[in-house]
Chains A and B, each alone.
Chain A
Amino acid sequence: METRNLICINCPMGCPLEVTIENGEVTNVTGNTCPRGAAYAKKEVTAPTRIVTSSVRVSGSQNGAVMVSCKTASDIPKGKIFDIVRAIKDVTVACPVHIGDVVMANVADTGVDMIATKEVL
């Protein structure tokens, strides 16, 4: 039996978690205040994931904006973070852009889309 101490990163409360692992399986999580904490702990010790946020260039903005912010539509394997930022490095999207518009589909072969998080007209 192994225990690991983690800080939950789901929200700014940053709950201190204690995870009990037996034979590679998470058997217990304590310290979390909500179900997200337990889910995070299980993932973090087996297959950690992150949401990646970044920004890419836009063209043709009415009000002179040059960048639009974006994020992965869901969490991706932690080891893929740099592949994703490299993949979107030279992307330019045409205005108008709305929240949720796909900036790049299946970014870095993660099966997850990069989507806009800001409206740029």
Chain B
Amino acid sequence: MENYNIVIIGGGPAGLAAAVAAYDAGERSILILERDSQLGGILNQCIHNGFGLHTFKEELTGPEYAKRYADQVVERNIEYRLNTMVMDISKDKVVTAMNRTDGMFDIQAKAVILAMGCRERSRGALNIPGYRPAGIYSAGTAQRLVNIEGYMPGRKVVILGSGDIGLIMARRMTLEGAEVQVVAELMPYSGGLKRNIVQCLNDFNIPLKLSHTVVDIEGKERVTGITIAEVDSRNKPIPGTEEHYECDTLLLSCGLLPENELSRNAGVEISRITNGPTVNESLETSIPGVFAAGNVLHVHDLVDFVSEEAAAAGRNAVAFVNGELAQDTEGEIALTVEGGPRYTVPSTIDPKKMTDQLTVRFRVGSVMKNKWVNVYIDDEKVIRKKRQVMAPGEMEEVVLKKSMFENHADAKRISIRVEEA
């Protein structure tokens, strides 16, 4: 059996950043396993711009951002295998993978970094009534067809869901000559970034109908029409509000789900809110030496933050391999949330194990205006941060400092509370 100190599952932005950071922390035995034919993951099909402002202080497209990291991996001679599918990760960190040249093989890892990313919610998971004709795609599939394969999926388009990929594809399809008639969003707010509403919908006069959903799909061979309707506060369609659109294509952009089949099979504890592993301050999962970062951990809005998080996971994995990451759980303090946040990543912090600064990321459950985000250690307020607008579609963060814990040797609780101004 082959042996590597660190095996990274996935060669997208998270896997690449984790590998580079692990190498720069001194580790030389690193292997990246990637199922696609190139490094870079989904960035390769995200040809729009807006990536990298935080990391590189310039505005890059997805492929350019991916190349920056892929180049760093190549410069360091970090090993990677393409077209390689990981089938299983055992509790003892034996990674079983396969590809066309090596067949099936096992690798014993000392540490594993989960960087598998996420998947789009499919039609099957949405329970949309109607026939099952051709012409229904997830927004990401359409993005791949247009940008990588060079096919147009359709000419007259309706989009369900206002996730970022759906918004980006509304613009992309419009530029390629399609008529995007409407974007319908079930929730009373958009799931995507405000900037994408402006530059992908408003720029092209594409209407966004909030609190609307698809109630019927027509067409036997190919989609011929879609009916949408307004929904009430319990997301039930309101009779009499139906609107019919003639179209040949329906794109779905209804949320992303972290891809954790491998993690689950390995016995990693999964959060029911994020659908990603629960992790401590070191981004270590419930299995010691198994770390997680990027969209497999929780779905991000910005690849820059994926890279940052994954780099931390890479460094922590090196510390684990070197026996420098304490494995006791006595000092672990649970992070709790009140008044708005749905979850935090990480979900526990051990102050003695944390770095000088630790970024805690979270999302709120509804749109909130003019609130304070306050962080308490026991009952002392250590961070107060004014937020004009918070929305479920935009990730929030607070940065905890190690020094904040100096007066709290026996802290029992860290809580993030959204409070009135």
Contacts and interface: CB of A to CB of B under 8 A. Distances in A.
A91 to B, nearest CB: 12
Given A50-B203, A66-B149, A14 B64 contact: no
Given A54-B175, A85-B176, A14 B47 contact: no
B142 to A, nearest CB: 13
Contact of B67 (A16, A82, A119): A119
Interface string A51-79: 11111010000010111011100000010
Interface string B85-126: 000000000000000000000000000000000000000000
B47 A81 contact: no
B47 A69 contact: yes
Contacts of A117: 47, 60-61, 63-64
A66 B145 CA distance: 11
Given A117-B61, A118-B63, A71 B49 contact: yes
Contacts of A8: 195
B63 A69 contact: yes
Question: For B147, B301, B388, which residue has the most chain A Cβ atoms within 10 angstroms?
Answer: B147
Interface residues of B, number: 34
Contact of B150 (A7, A67, A119): A67
Given A50-B203, A81-B175, A118-B63, A12 B195 contact: yes
Interface centre among A14, A63, A71, by most chain B C-beta atoms within 10 angstroms, is A14
A1 interface: no
Interface string B40-53: 00001001111001
A69 B149 CA distance: 11
A47 interface: no
Interface string B127-171: 000000000000000000011111000000000000000000000
Contacts of B193: 12, 14
Interface in A62-121: 63, 65-67, 69-71, 78, 81-82, 85, 99, 117-119
B301 A12 contact: yes
A75 to B, nearest CB: 10
A53 B301 contact: no
B315 to A, nearest CB: 25
B382 interface: no
Of the candidates A6, A51, A57, the one having the most CB atoms from chain B within 10 angstroms of its own CB is A51
Nearest to A81: B175
B194 A78 contact: no
Contacts of B62: 69
A53 B47 CA distance: 7
A71 B67 CA distance: 16
A10 interface: yes
A96 to B, nearest CB: 14
The number of chain A residues touching the other chain, given as a range, is 20 to 34
A55 B64 contact: no
B389 interface: yes
B147 A99 contact: no
Nearest to B303: A12
Contacts of A53: 47-49, 61
Contacts of B388: 16
Given A7-B194, A10-B53, A66-B149, A50 B176 contact: no
Nearest to B302: A12
Nearest to B194: A14
A39 interface: no
B10 to A, nearest CB: 20
A54 B301 CA distance: 21
Contact of A99 (B44, B50, B64): B64
Q: Which of A7, A8, A63, A69 has the most CB of B within 10 A?
A: A69
A32 B410 CA distance: 40
Given A16-B388, A50-B203, A67-B149, A9 B61 contact: no
A10 B52 CA distance: 11
Interface of A: 6-12, 14, 16, 50-55, 57, 63, 65-67, 69-71, 78, 81-82, 85, 99, 117-119
Given A7-B198, A71-B47, A117-B64, 15 more contacts: A10-B50, A12-B195, A16-B194, A52-B175, A54-B175, A55-B146, A55-B150, A63-B37, A69-B62, A70-B47, A71-B61, A85-B175, A117-B47, A117-B60, A118-B44
11 contacts: A6-B198, A7-B194, A9-B195, A11-B54, A53-B61, A55-B146, A65-B148, A66-B148, A67-B147, A99-B64, A117-B61
